[in-house]
Amino acid sequence: MKSLKLASWLAWIVVLALAWSVSAAEVEGETCDAGQAKIKMPPKTRRALLTSNGLSHDAIRAEFVRLVRLRQPDLDKARVVYVPDAIVAEGTPFTNDLVDEFRRSLGPLGISEVSAIELASSSREEVEASLAQADVVYVECGNTFYLHYHMAQKGVKSILDPLLDGGLVYVGSSAGSIVAGMTAEIALWKGWDDPTVVPKLPDYAGLAVLGAKSFFPHYSSQYKGLVESKRSSVSHEVLTLTDSQCFASDEVSGERLVG
């Protein structure tokens, strides 16, 4: 009789364990709508710094350095990959001078190992190889739709997802912050960027770097009414960023607005 009771208890333990594992798998594999696309949510806190104007303020630079050190404690060994497509779309040529200028901007922070990859002129294999060796990917400002299109064409989300889960730091400036969200549709709200520079895609699904959040950079009081009227058009949180703010995320301090 005791053996039967023991077997019964063991059976219940197995059932409960299976139920817990299924529940955990559902949380880690949670999906969310981004327009017509279904996007899988990241299973854990990722490292990201989303800005309106890049590393333009002391507080933002301090957050950047802190995040980089989580990945690579020796800053002079930190490898940064620069993605300039958005600014190239607005007429800035992709040249060594552009990359050198970006490298010089990181010099005072102790970082000098910078390479660049232009998505538009590179193969998927080249993009994958470039990002795989990065500690930080820095996605520049400019035309959001041009950037989003070439990210979609090269399958950047599927390349980045495992790298981000492995500790890669994502840094976005303006357009780079918008595409990091659930949807790049946010770029339509102000109408600053021309969507006709590239063929129209079926949807504006973003990278969902931080899960079910999208980002509205260059926010000020003049856009308060616009944002409030548009928020209901998306099914997830939209965070606003002024030109002096950043949204930072990491496994140590969690997610927070700085500035």
Residue numbers annotated as active site: 174, 218
What span, in angstroms and rounded, lies between the C-alpha atoms of 47 and 40? Answer: 17
Cβ(206)–Cβ(183) below 8 Å: yes
What span, in angstroms and rounded, lies between the C-alpha atoms of 240 and 177? Answer: 11
Identify the DSSP state of 68: H
- Give the number of other CB atoms < 10 A from CB of residue 199: 8
**What does the buried/exposed string (b/e) look like for 67-96 if buried means 16 or more CB atoms within 10 Å of the residue's CB?**
bbeebbeebeebebbbbbbbbbbeeeebee
**Side-chain half-sphere CA neighbours of 259 within 13 A:** 24
**What does the buried/exposed string (b/e) look like for 128-148 if buried means 16 or more CB atoms within 10 Å of the residue's CB?**
bebbeebbbbbbbbbbbbbbb
Identify the DSSP state of 184: G
Distances (CA, A) of 147 to 108, 202, 217, 228: 28, 15, 16, 26
Torsion on CA atoms 210, 215, 221, 225, rounded to nearest 10: -110
What are the residues whose beta carbons fall under 8 Å from the beta carbon of 199, sequence distance 6 or more? Answer: 149
